[in-house]
Amino acid sequence: MSRHEDDRSLLETCVEGRVAYDGSFLKVRSDRVRLPDGRLAKREYVVHPGAVMVVPVLDDGRLVLERQFRYPLGRVMIEFPAGKLDAGEPGLRCAMRELREETGYVARQWARAGVLHNAMAYSTEGIEVWLARGLSPGPASLDEGEFVEVFTAWPQQLEAWVRDGTVTDAKTLIGLLWWQQWQAGLWCPDWQDVDDSNQASSTP
């Protein structure tokens, strides 16, 4: 469905904005907005710097995944590698950095799949989804206080974990969707070769 030509009947405009919480990573805003019918309402939301997620595919078809404890949920989650963007950092560079730091893998080819807004009702976060192939293993370099278990699984295993509720992470579900559509020939990623100096060049 294409974007509607005129969104004015749905727009909300900020009347008064304030920062309710300013943390080292996230900010929470509490704004008063004017609704399309003229009434006022409150909107509370998290300001997020943005992130990337990588779907790393080994030559034999297995996927590289991670297990890590997610404190808000109080449980270990299965996820694709991901991390937040540094200020001014291009998405591809962040994806390469996060893959190398968290898993030790370096990829020879990359393709940008798209952007995921995983919590648009209460967060500005957008997650760039990247596919990576031509992987070479190496040592991981986790941040201080970061504990991640890296493992590989066949796509059919990941699909089964989604079906039985073992995997519920939104970005990982979207990453699997992209992998499925690519494998089925329905979506065609624009692959780029990436050399050792982290410079990307288009390939046919």
Full DSSP string of the chain = -PPPS--TTT--EEEE--EEEE-SS-EEEEEEEE-TTS-EEEEEEEE---EEEEEEE-TTS-EEEEEEEETTTTEEEEE--EEEPPTT--HHHHHHHHHHHHH--EEEEEEEEEEE-TTTTTB---EEEEEEEEEE-----PPTT---EEEEE-HHHHHHHHHTTS---HHHHHHHHHHHHHHTTSS----EEE-TTS-EEE--
5 catalytic? Reply is no
* From 44, 101, 144, 149, active-site residue: 144
Which residues are catalytically annotated?
A: 144
